[in-house]
Amino acid sequence: MNFGHKDFRKVRRMESLNAILQVILLALVFLGVNYLAARFYSRVDLTRANKHSLSLESQAYLENIDPQKPVSIIVTLMTRPEDTEEDQRTRKEVEKLLREYVYHANRHGPQRLSVEYVDVFKHRERARELATKYGLQQGDSILFACEKRNRLIPAAHLRALQEGTGKLIGFRGEALFTSAILHVTRNEKDKVYFVNGHGELFLDTADSDRGITEVSAFLMKRNIEPETLNLLIAGKIPNDAKLVVIASPQSAFSEEEVILLRDYLNRSNGRVIVLLDPYIKHGLENLFWDWGVDVQDKLVVEPASSSTIAQNGATLVREFSNHQITRSIGANHIPVLVGPCRPAQPDIGAPADETRRVTSLMRSREGSWAETDYRKSGPAKPEARDVAGPISLAVVAERQVGQQGIQIAGGKLTVFGNSSWVTNAWFKSRGNRELLHNSVLWNLDRYTLVDIPPRPVQEYELTIDAQEFKELRGRLFLLPLSVLLLGAICFWTRRH
């Protein structure tokens, strides 16, 4: 048999084809194997106390998400040149934590949870979509959405700061994320009743000074249903009331109404927010006395404000306590714009009650005072009858109920010495929105749906002096040096 050039060429072509097919086959195997690996994977935490894993409670909730109603998480935390170390740390912690959430939610097959990172400055179209769909208007936050329910967590809420120093000591991401997932996957809406019948602010009027339609829309976007309630006509507080708001009554409450409110707070562990303005007789004194809250008939006078935004009787409040409602506002130095205020403070003369805890939320500046004769005309001056500042402008009172050492949250009463900050005219201010958001969520127990402690942010320290450090450096250098020496011996041995 004779072979010509053509035959050899044919064999070569076949060999080339064979090689190409082998490479293609290898590539296909690579893609197939990795596709499966990306879908079905597992993670093992080697640390002793599983410190990077989610708590069993969170894992259980994630496994119970209905695959037909998956949860979407949209993260708008961005990298910017001006980011502080804390910002970077927060973003990193969020990324790490969400990896665990995705793993635990999706490891049993169907996609129950997805995470999307959006740069609102670069992906304008997507940012617009999110603003329309979820009302997402701010960056630096994490949005949890499931069907029509959603929940926004600003980045500032994730940090646990040390009181006094403001130093980052922990990361409370897991408690907030799990609580948000629980909230968006729940079917029912929380109902908030706004009391009327005393000339309160109008829930459905767009008036800038007495309307609170902005608040109404704000709550509805957060799956909270606001409704009006006339206590005298209804004769009771509905069973589905998760929170009752009394916003700027212009006349006093009757005895019957006060009894209804007291029963709601004490027997039903109800939640009430009261916004009171100076000058007005409200008739709630006895209720406040029971709850250790003191709302005096005085007017808080601030030293003149230089801010243009705080003209016309408005004041920028910048002093906040470390309470869950005001912590993030204080930590981020966001001012709250308020109108004329009356003092709302813990009542030091109230009867002792171990189950009750009263905390001031925010206060006026140094140099301010509570004016007693504020009805007099003429410029106000601090006098002996007045109380020297700083003056508490808002207060929360909460009770713990339970027996045999088991304590659960009871009623909560929140009192603000001003109501203007929720009106349509002033509610656009970021601090005001944040204050209302936190107050409502805290009263609805949305922060404490799950009891997961913050993850501590540890700082690793080494304390040795310069001489010890120098010695250590020298001893560590022996390692590369010994390899070089070994090489030289090896080389010399081979040569000889």
Partner 1 sequence: MRGFLTILRHEIFVLLISPATFVAGFLFLLMMWLVYWQVLKAMPSKELPVSLFFQLFWLPVLFMVPLLTMRSIAEERRMGTLESTLTTPTTPLAIVAGKFAGAYVVFLSFWVLALGYPILTSFQVPEGSANFSFMEASPLIGGLLFVAVSGTMYVAAGIFASSLTRSQLVAAMLCFAILFMVILGEQILFTYSGNPETVPGRWQPILDYLRTFRQLEDFSRGIVDSRPFVLYFSSAFVLLGIAVVVVERKATR
The site for partner 1 (CB under 8 A) is made up of: 15, 19, 22-23, 26-27, 29-30, 33-34, 36-38, 41-48, 52, 75, 78-79, 89, 95-96, 99, 116-119, 122-123, 126, 457-464, 468-469, 471-473, 475-477, 479-480, 483-484, 486-488, 490-491, 494
- C-alpha distances in Å from residue 180, one per residue of 132, 269, 476: 20, 23, 49
Contact 236, 208 (CB under 8 A): no
232/464 with CB nearer partner 1: 464
Residue in 99, 148, 67, 101 with CA at minimum distance from that of residue 452: 101
Residue 279, helix vs strand vs coil: coil
DSSP annotation of 7 reads H
CB of 459 to partner 1, least distance (A): 5
Helix (H) or strand (E) holding 306: none
Q: Which residues contact 35 (CB under 8 A, 6 or more apart)?
A: none
Distance of closest approach, residue 185 Cβ to partner 1, in angstroms: 23
Least Å from the CB of residue 476 to partner 1: 6
H or E element: which one contains 197?
none
Nearest Cα to Cα of residue 250 among 406, 419, 495, 377:
419
**Looking at beta carbons only, is 45 or 256 nearer to partner 1?**
45
Looking at the Cβ atoms of 384 and 462, the one nearer to partner 1 is 462
Instruction: Provide CB contacts within 8 A for 350, sequence distance 6+.
Output: 289, 290, 291, 292, 293, 294, 358
Minimum CB distance to partner 1 smaller for 26 or for 380:
26
Cα–Cα distances (Å) from 226 to 212, 231, 396, 420, in that order, read 11, 15, 21, 19
Nearer to partner 1, 133 or 428 (CB): 133
Report which of 160, 123, 162 is spatially closest to residue 139, judged by C-alpha positions.
Answer: 123
Least separation in angstroms between CB 481 and partner 1: 8
Minimum distance, C-beta of residue 313 to partner 1, in the bound complex (Å): 44
- Token pair belonging to 223: 């799956």
Give least dist CB 78 to partner 1, A: 6
CB of 466 to partner 1, least distance (A): 11
Is the CB of 41 or the CB of 279 nearer to partner 1?
Answer: 41
By beta-carbon proximity to partner 1, the closer residue of 44 and 304 is 44
